Amino acid sequence: MDRRTFFQLVASTGAYVAISPFVIKKELRADNGNLFKTYERVQLVDKDGKPLMSSKLKKEENYVFNYPHKGTPCFLIDLGEPTNKDIKLKSEDGEEYLWKSGVGKNRSIVAYSAICSHQLAHPTPEDSFIKYVPRSGKTMAYKSGGIIVCSSHMSAFDPKSGAKKLSGPAEQALASIVLEIAEDDTIWATAVLGPDKFHEYFKAYKPEFKKFYGGKRKAKKLVKSKAQTITLSEYSKEIIQY
Ligand code: FES
């Protein structure tokens, strides 16, 4: 029985289901495969293939890795302070889900899809209009830093609260990447929680997939065993932020 089957069976009983670090209830529509989807458990490694350690992450750095598909970029951020807990979020279709908290010793490590939930802006090897702006930073999208900003149309998301939308035209949070920190401090991605926009994304960027991944089919392939994790400045030549 795979993890998704197990999840669906348990969820169908209506019981409260605990999946570290996220918790979802049947009535929060997690059993339809849309708002919680498990994928291969993949280890985050650095550009030399060495395991990334949760305690060694630079605080408030934008790290990027591709997961669960080879062409879907995600942010990994150690926010440097604990996240909020048990955040109820709603998709633009009105489906609710619960984001439990960040992971790591201080509950400060989070990962989110870097595909904007508004009109799918995302980091490419050429540029990125979306990034985490540190607490000391400034943005036109919101009154303070410590947030993820998409400068395409100025949406701001709160990484301390499940990437909930704070301001701008986006109508829902960024999808969360479910992380596990192993006992040896290594970091693993295991699932996607929340509305992920992957379907629309794969329909929208065919020429880009051809340019950077050798085609849409290759970009859609699932990541297996390891995901290279680098900083956003290494991932994208140009970072645009207002
Ligand atoms: S695409 Fe991100 S705000 Fe519009």
Task: Grade residue 185 by pLDDT with cuts at 50, 70 and 90.
Answer: very high
- Phi and psi at residue 123, in whole multiples of 5°? -70, 140
1 domain residue, yes or no: no
90 domain residue, yes or no: yes
CATH of the domain at 136: 2.102.10.10
Give the chain's mean pLDDT: 89
pLDDT value, residue 34: 63
The single residue listed with the structure tokens 């960027």 is 205
Task: Grade residue 229 by pLDDT with cuts at 50, 70 and 90.
Answer: very high
Could you tell which of 75, 92, 113, 116 is best to mutate to test the pocket of ligand 1, judged by most ligand atoms within 8 Å of the CB?
Answer: 116
222 domain residue, yes or no: yes
103 domain residue, yes or no: yes
Residue 107: domain span: 38-239
Cα-to-centroid distance, 132 and ligand 1 (Å): 14
* CA nearest ligand 1 atom 1, residue: 119
129 domain residue, yes or no: yes
Closest by CA to 107, choosing from 35, 32, 20, is 20
Reduce the DSSP state of residue 168 to 3 states and report it. Answer: coil
Q: For the segment 22-59, what is each residue's pLDDT rounded down to a tens digit?
A: 444 433 444 445 689 999 999 999 999 999 999 999 99
> 109 pLDDT exceeds 60?
yes
pLDDT value, residue 29: 40
> 120 pLDDT exceeds 80?
yes
Cα-to-centroid distance, 129 and ligand 1 (Å): 8
pLDDT value, residue 19: 42
91 domain residue, yes or no: yes
Pick the atom of ligand 1 nearest to 150's CA: 2
**What are the Cα distances from residue 112, in Å, to 13, 17, 116, 160?**
29, 22, 10, 11
pLDDT value, residue 205: 97
**Beta carbons of 60 and 134 less than 8 angstroms apart:** yes
> 220 pLDDT exceeds 80?
yes
101 domain residue, yes or no: yes
What residues does ligand 1 touch, defined as CB less than 6 Å away?
A: 116, 118-119, 121, 150, 152-153, 155, 168-170
204 domain residue, yes or no: yes
In this prediction the pTM is 0.88
